[in-house]
Amino acid sequence: MTRLFNEPSEFADEMIDGFVAANQRWVRRVHGGVVRATRSTPGRVALVVGGGSGHYPAFGGLVGQGLAHGAALGNLFASPSWQQVRSVARSAHSGGGVLLSYGNYAGDVLNFDQAQAKLVAEGIETRTVTVTDDISSASVAEKHKRRGIAGDLTVFKTAAAASDAGYPLDEVVRVAEKANERTRSFGVAFSGCSLPGSDEPLFTVPEGRMAVGMGIHGEPGIGETDVPTANELAELFVASLLAELPDGVEEARGQRVAVLLNGLGSVKYEELFVVYAKVDQLLREAGLTVVEPEVGELVTSFDMAGASLTLFWLDDELEGFWAAPADAPAFKKGAVDAAERLDDTVLEALVAESIPPASPESQEAARTVFAALEAVKTTVDENVDELGRIDAVAGDGDHGIGMQRGVNAAVAAALDALQGGAGAGTLLDRAGDAWSDRAGGTSGALWGSALASLGSALTDDAAPSRRSVAAGVAAATDAILEFGATVGDKTMVDVLVPFSDSLTSSIDAGADLTTAWAAAADVAVAAAAATADLMPKMGRARPHAEKSLGTPDAGATSLGLITRAVADVIAARADAHRAS
Ligand SMILES: Nc1ncnc2c1ncn2[C@@H]1O[C@H](COP(=O)(O)OP(=O)(O)O)[C@@H](O)[C@H]1O
Ligand SMILES: O=C(COP(=O)(O)O)[C@@H](O)CO
């Protein structure tokens, strides 16, 4: 369990502060994460990595010469927001384009993809390679769906070395994709982990048992056995990984492999070395040549007890890049050339954007929107634990705190906008931007997009009409549907679509906004409860499908609660107008 923390909600930020203070030789803080403290050669590809915090040395510990140029650092076990990724990429870019690389998790994909689209739109050539090395997480036929674990390191290391060799972006992508195809990992866990301030572990493994193939956020594995001896574990690791050769490798005998034996958080280095002795012996007996192995903590899962083995099947090109020098806080190899240190100028200072002019009617509407956001905040605060509990049944238990982080930031940004004279459109746009930036994860990206779309529909020009509100909700629904879920997948879409349909049809039938919204909120709350009967098909909950039957979806539940809270604000405003 985590013993040392101050305010749990501040843990990730305080951890990054300390990490940067202790590693100024290598890294500098930027909005959203860290970048190298040394100047990169102009025109070289910038490798930007990232993911949730709680996996140190992934991802900040892997920033430095010969490794990543920058890392976007999310909250604990939650992906960074697209704004964080974009900010780190802008700061790391030195004219040769950007390669985004990270483990294949739903929230990360969603946010890194959005960041990529924004970077491309502003003229920075950007590509992505996701890491999919965990062979327990999907079959070979679906290997593109696999999660990324310790294999992050081999992909990042070789991509960075290719960039240092002057390869252009297309070629760095080719090397990273080849490295990913040739990297295979297999992990086991002996205990779960507890996040700071939590009374309950996020997940557990029964005493004396070993979860085979469990993921680094407690995603279920492929089986459970009694805890084996160190030699038996080595045998399991090696046999499992030799049973699946990557494309382009016909037989194991005669191959050269880099080997990573990774501790997941609270297994001692000494234990790892005992396991490694047998791993090394077994690989040599199988006719493999081991090249520059690594034993230690490379990608962890907070204080989880467990380990993983990674085989990186080398060819001449990959071996050269694997062996190339690197100098990062948590990973060093050979000797890198001295590079010029950058000064401490704050990178990517957040420029406050001016508030565009708005009509008095839209400014008046902005006050109602602000009151609605405050009501959303109250509802989220009141339900934060329950939302976390629901999410923990099949997800990672952070939905409540993620929503809380998002709505707090949204209300603060909305207040700034209101004080600056914003109309309803701009206020919603600023609130959405702050929500996704601060919350990160899946729901942060979804809520950010939804508020921005609603804002575009309401504009700053006129008082919103009941028709423009319904059109705005429909636009927000379309924006969420862009993320790929459809009705029946057990997500917030199962609430948003019937809510929006009900609102539009009541208004088309002549209802006023108060009546139409209240009726639609009833539909939303009922639809949220009905998600209990569905099996999840998206996001973190997907692999836990059967566990989630009988429990509603967390994102659907919070949306149902929010529609009801906003209904009360709309009704109160209508009463006030009638009275005045
Ligand atoms: N593609 C998607 N489209 C719409 N909603 C989604 C999608 N993927 C996940 N969700 C919603 O996001 C919620 C998870 O949010 P949250 O727990 O805050 O994010 P994270 O999984 O990043 O921790 C789910 O309960 C579900 O309602
Ligand atoms: O947890 C992570 C990403 O999870 P999402 O739930 O998909 O946001 C992160 O730790 C891995 O980068």
Ligand 1, atom 2, lies closest to the CA of 485
Token look-up 């539009």 returns 504
Residue 310: its H or E element: strand 306-313
Domain that holds residue 442: 360-579
> Are 404 and 540 in a shared domain?
yes
> Are 22 and 98 in a shared domain?
yes
Nearest to 428 by CA among 436, 215, 86: 436
**Cα–Cα distances in Å, from 410 out to 184, 413, 418?**
41, 5, 12
Q: Which residues pair with 513 in a beta bridge?
A: none
Pocket test for ligand 1, best of 407, 443, 483, 548 (most atoms within 8 A of CB): 443
| Distance, CA of 407 to CA of 499 (rounded, Å) | 21
> Does the residue 348 lie in any domain?
no
Ligand whose nearest atom lies closest to the CA of 391: 1
> Are 288 and 377 in a shared domain?
no
Nearest to 52 by CA among 84, 74, 81, 34: 74
| Distance, CA of 403 to CA of 554 (rounded, Å) | 10
Q: Are 24 and 36 in contact (CB under 8 A)?
A: no
Question: Residue 95 maps to which CATH number?
Answer: 3.40.50.10440
> Are 439 and 309 in a shared domain?
no
Cα–chain center distance at 487: 23
> Does the residue 170 lie in any domain?
yes
Nearest to 293 by CA among 281, 304, 301, 305: 281
According to DSSP H, which parts of 93-207 are helical?
A: 106-121, 152-164, 169-181
Active site residues: 217
- What is the token pair recorded at 367? 């006050």
Q: At what angle do helices 554-579 and 441-458 cross, to 10 degrees?
A: 30
What's the CA-to-centroid distance between 385 and ligand 1, angstroms?
17
> Does the residue 339 lie in any domain?
no
For the residues of 29-64, what is the DSSP string, one character each?
EETTEEEESBPPPTTPPEEEEEEEESSTTTTGGGBS
> Does the residue 462 lie in any domain?
yes
Ligand 2, atom 1, lies closest to the CA of 77
> Are 249 and 322 in a shared domain?
yes
C-alpha dihedral, 381 to 382 to 385 to 388, nearest 10°: -60
Number of domains in the chain: 2
- Asked if the bond preceding 57 is cis, omega within 30° of 0, the reply is yes
What's the CA-to-centroid distance between 217 and ligand 2, angstroms?
8
What's the CA-to-centroid distance between 118 and ligand 2, angstroms?
21
Nearest to 187 by CA among 107, 264, 123, 292: 264
> Are 318 and 442 in a shared domain?
no
For ligand 2, what atom is nearest to the CA of residue 217?
1
What's the CA-to-centroid distance between 456 and ligand 1, angstroms?
23
**Side chain identity at 481, as an amino acid letter?**
L
Per-residue burial over 430-451, b = 16 or more CB atoms within 10 Å of its CB, e = otherwise: bbbbbbbbbbbbbbbbbbbbbb
Question: Residue 407 maps to which CATH number?
Answer: 1.25.40.340
Pocket test for ligand 1, best of 114, 492, 537 (most atoms within 8 A of CB): 492
What's the CA-to-centroid distance between 77 and ligand 2, angstroms?
5
- What is the token pair recorded at 108? 């990360």
For ligand 2, what atom is nearest to the CA of residue 103?
12
Query: What does each of the 580 residues of the chain score in pLDDT, given as a tens digit?
Result: 788 999 888 899 999 999 999 999 999 999 999 999 999 999 999 999 999 999 999 999 999 999 999 999 999 999 999 999 999 999 999 999 999 999 999 999 999 999 999 999 999 999 999 999 999 999 999 999 999 999 999 999 999 999 999 999 999 999 999 999 999 999 999 998 888 887 778 788 999 999 999 889 888 788 999 999 999 999 999 999 999 999 999 999 999 999 999 999 999 999 999 999 999 999 999 999 999 999 999 999 999 999 999 999 999 999 999 999 999 999 999 999 888 888 665 455 455 678 999 999 999 999 999 999 999 999 999 999 899 889 888 777 788 889 999 999 999 999 999 999 999 999 999 999 999 999 989 999 999 999 999 999 999 999 999 999 999 999 999 999 999 999 999 999 999 999 999 999 999 999 999 999 999 999 999 999 999 999 887 665 555 667 788 999 999 999 999 999 999 999 998 888 887 7
What's the CA-to-centroid distance between 461 and ligand 2, angstroms?
39
- What is the token pair recorded at 500? 């929006």
> Are 26 and 151 in a shared domain?
yes
**Which residue ranges have their beta carbon within 6 Å of ligand 1?**
78-79, 106-107, 391, 395-396, 398-399, 402, 441-443, 446, 480, 483-485, 491-493, 538-540, 553-556
According to DSSP H, which parts of 29-128 are helical?
A: 82-92, 106-121
> Does the residue 315 lie in any domain?
yes
| Distance, CA of 101 to CA of 502 (rounded, Å) | 41
**Which residue ranges have their beta carbon within 6 Å of ligand 2?**
51-52, 55, 77-79, 103, 105-108, 217, 396, 441-442, 540
Residue 30: its H or E element: strand 27-30
> Are 307 and 231 in a shared domain?
yes
